[in-house]
Structure 1
Amino acid sequence: MLKALLSLVLAATPVPAVTPLSLPPPTGPARIGTVTAHLIDRSRPDPWVATEKNRELMVSIWYPARTVRGHQRADWVSPGIAARINPPGSPYALPVTHGHLGAPPAAGRHPVILYSPGFGLERTSGTTLVEDLAGHGYVVVTIDHTHDAGLVEFPDGRIATGAVAPPASPGEEEKLLEKVLDVRVRDTRFVLDQLGRMPLAATMDLSRVGMFGASMGGATAAGVMHADRRVRAGINLDGSVVGPVLGSKLNRPFLLFGSDSHGEQDETWTRLWDRLRGPRYRLEIAGSAHLSFTDHQALLPQLGLPAEQVEPVVGTIGAHRSIAIQRTYVRAFFDRHLRQRGGGLLDRPSPRYPEVTFQP
């Protein structure tokens, strides 16, 4: 999506002046470190490309840092992906994150949150929310679901592209989505298995694990919670739900957090809501749209495109307000259910956030 819109800008700008795009600064007190890891699951072949004998994944870990002195800020995407989505001649420079490469972790063991992106999107697409959580004392692990994501760059420079074939007929769509979900759940559980063996394991409290994701990533959070009790709390950001969780009784905390039209149009939310047996929350943000819950909310308004191109994607709500609301409620949920602290923000509507409605 961002690549397509950048291409529109490039085509309409004959002599561009390069303008840097930016992500909003995190609100937490902690400085942020980040590292990437290449994980290989030798127990299974790649489910989308038959010639690949092992399932390969890329993850990033975002964490509170003891110091960031001498550690440069990480780019939003890796160099090979940057060259593909923002080629030479573009009037924009892609963002730099607020995470510092390889910075030493802060003392202590911190709750862990997993992040899964939407179908076709990369692990970087939720950076605005991810690094804010890290700045408030969480370790956040973002996962690329290879060949489901549009672009995944490995340390040797290989770039894996999307390889999920569209369904052969409309009747096959649900079966395909169930396979996508199953692969993602397996990916996530493998990542969970590996966390205790990573160099940053000492900074992770793996007895306090949550998960969130946008769109299909939100369905993945629910699917992982159904399959794996290590994940104690989850959030679905505007994603339809698929898979076995719709027939189960999920007894751990879950938040459905969506755009103001999503819940009314998606019967899978009603089905899941009726099956939730733990603490449950269903919130909507007025004026938001499906990709409001990704970095597109921050970046698309900076491109100078007409409203008729931007508003269907990220809504009419202002970017700063939308992001502030999402950060506040996502953090309040994990603070309550992974740290057993926080106020009553999730209990009732707040006059500070009139855009947020609580659904029965």
Structure 2
Amino acid sequence: MNKIIRMLAAVTAGLVLAAPGALATPAAAQAAPGAGAATRLELPRPTGDFAVGRDTLHLVDRDRKDPWVPDRDRELLLSLYYPALAHTGTPAPYMTVPEAKAFLTDRGTLGEHVTPERLAATRTHSRTAALPRPSAQRYPLVVLSPGFTMPRSSLTTLAEDLASRGYVVAAVDHAYESDGTTFPGGRLLTCTACEQVFPDQSLHRVSDGRARDVPFVLDRLTGPHPAWRYSRIIDERRIGMAGHSIGGAAASATMAADPRVDAGVNMDGTFFTPVPQQGLGGRPFLMLAGDPALLPPDFPDTSWEDTWPRLDGWKRWLTITGAGHPAFTDWPVLGDQVGYDHPETPLSGTRSQQITRGYVGAFFDLQLRGIPAPRLEGPTAADPEVVFHRR
């Protein structure tokens, strides 16, 4: 499987390129024996002004069978991040120990640097069961879709930052598409999809399926009978979506399928589901990619060039010098803390996340809230790694 995942990381680089309270949040994992407080891993602090709450929501689509396990209904597991009242709730866990074991098993030598228990015990900056922050206006919603084989927790740093800036964020685990996700009842669902799409390279099935998952999520979060206890704080008129790797392809595929999504971001993902010839109805789209110099010289993907003329609204194509495919996730940040020199990402984890959070946040501020975003207008000395490939 490690070989397959490394192959997927290359294929998907895309350069030059749960009723409320129904699912109990797992208790925070304990650090490995002998690991003191000084060695506990920690995500970067959010940059916004608000404290961050987090809920877990399990959704089941009774009208749709799972594309990978057809005898089951389609299931999704969401982490919902939101602006919260400070000092309410309890610290939210990063992931379960079984999830961490599944992740490390599929990540080669990373497992030599950190135990599953230590990874699971990573300190986050969100709080379970925190009270929502009162506001005269409702908050825009941003949906996050992770890379194939990656759990939703891989985008925690970005999710917490957006929530601290005044967004509700729904990070989605799509059943049977990660190395391992703990669903209700203690069920660890592994990557059954991998066994089906890798042999024949039918990866478009993943982004196509997520373009059906997300509209269902929007129905359950913003519809007349919402599944989340705090759905009232969501402004259903302002919705964005961002994804990493194949989750980025799912963002544009979802926009093509659902006009409710007003703006989208693809973070380093091949467009396995092509953007329609007629475009996305004039809606804005940001393509944020890693360093083309880190790809093999004969890298075959042309989907970004093919997609660019089809984007018919505000658009940007940015690349980040020194950033490899994992740079848009939490893993380089955590890898730096355990002494893991990720060969695909020479740019530090701290800097990778500063850029990712800064540009994705600026994009949604501009497109969903009307806040000017000068850093999206052209190169800046403050971010020398960011190259405006096309504007």
- Bin of the TM-score, shorter chain as denominator length: 0.7 to 0.9
Residue of structure 2 in register with 1:154 after alignment = 183
Structure 1 residues 357 and 102: CA distance shift in structure 2, 3 A: same
Shift of 1:79: 4.8
Indicate if the aligned counterparts of 2:102 and 2:179 stay in contact, CA closer than 8 A: no
| Segment of structure 1 superposing worse, 252-261 or 145-154 | 145-154
Which residue of the other structure, out of 275, 279, 282, is the alignment partner of 2:310?
A: 275
Counterparts of residues 331-350 of structure 1 (less than 5 Å): 331-350=361-380
Query: Does residue 1:326 correspond to 2:333, yes or no?
Result: no
Which residue of the other structure, out of 56, 71, 77, is the alignment partner of 1:58?
A: 77
Residue of structure 2 in register with 1:11 after alignment = none
Indicate if the aligned counterparts of 2:102 and 2:180 stay in contact, CA closer than 8 A: no
Shift of 1:68: 2.8
AA aligned opposite 1:133: L
Provide structure 1 residue ranges, at least 5 long, that are not aligned to the other structure: 5-14
Which residue of the other structure, out of 131, 139, 164, is the alignment partner of 1:135?
A: 164
Counterparts of residues 177-326 of structure 1 (less than 5 Å): 177-196=203-222, 197=226, 198-250=228-280, 251-261=282-292, 265=299, 266-305=301-340, 307=341, 310-312=342-344, 315-326=345-356
Q: Secondary structure at the match of 1:92?
A: helix
Shift of 1:151: 1.4
Q: Secondary structure at the match of 1:104?
A: coil
In the superposition, the TM-score normalised over structure 1's length comes to: 0.88
Aligned partners of 2:212 and 2:102: how far apart in 1?
Answer: 29
Shift of 1:247: 3.4
Q: Number of paired residues? A: 338
Which residue of the other structure, out of 47, 72, 76, is the alignment partner of 2:94?
A: 76
Aligned partners of 1:144 and 1:103: how far apart in 2?
Answer: 22
| Segment of structure 1 superposing worse, 329-338 or 88-97 | 88-97
Shift of 1:84: 4.9
Aligned partners of 2:198 and 2:365: how far apart in 1?
Answer: 44
Structure 1 residues 274 and 51: CA distance shift in structure 2, 3 A: same
Indicate if the aligned counterparts of 1:80 and 1:157 stay in contact, CA closer than 8 A: no
Aligned partners of 2:154 and 2:115: how far apart in 1?
Answer: 23
Structure 1 residues 290 and 67: CA distance shift in structure 2, 3 A: same
Shift of 1:16: 7.0
Indicate if the aligned counterparts of 1:237 and 1:257 stay in contact, CA closer than 8 A: yes
AA aligned opposite 1:311: P
Indicate if the aligned counterparts of 2:240 and 2:368 stay in contact, CA closer than 8 A: yes
* Bigger relative contact order (CA 8 A; separation at least 6): 2
Shift of 1:246: 4.8
Structure 1 residues 50 and 316: CA distance shift in structure 2, 3 A: same
Shift of 1:169: 8.5
Shift of 1:165: 4.4
Query: Does residue 1:95 correspond to 2:95, yes or no?
Result: no
Aligned partners of 2:197 and 2:252: how far apart in 1?
Answer: 27
RMSD across aligned C-alpha pairs, in angstroms? 2.4
| Segment of structure 1 superposing worse, 286-295 or 244-253 | 244-253
Q: Secondary structure at the match of 2:375?
A: coil
Q: Secondary structure at the match of 2:170?
A: strand
Aligned partners of 1:166 and 1:85: how far apart in 2?
Answer: 17
Percentage identity across paired residues of the two chains: 39
Aligned partners of 1:167 and 1:40: how far apart in 2?
Answer: 22
Indicate if the aligned counterparts of 1:32 and 1:68 stay in contact, CA closer than 8 A: no
Q: Secondary structure at the match of 2:124?
A: strand
AA aligned opposite 1:38: H
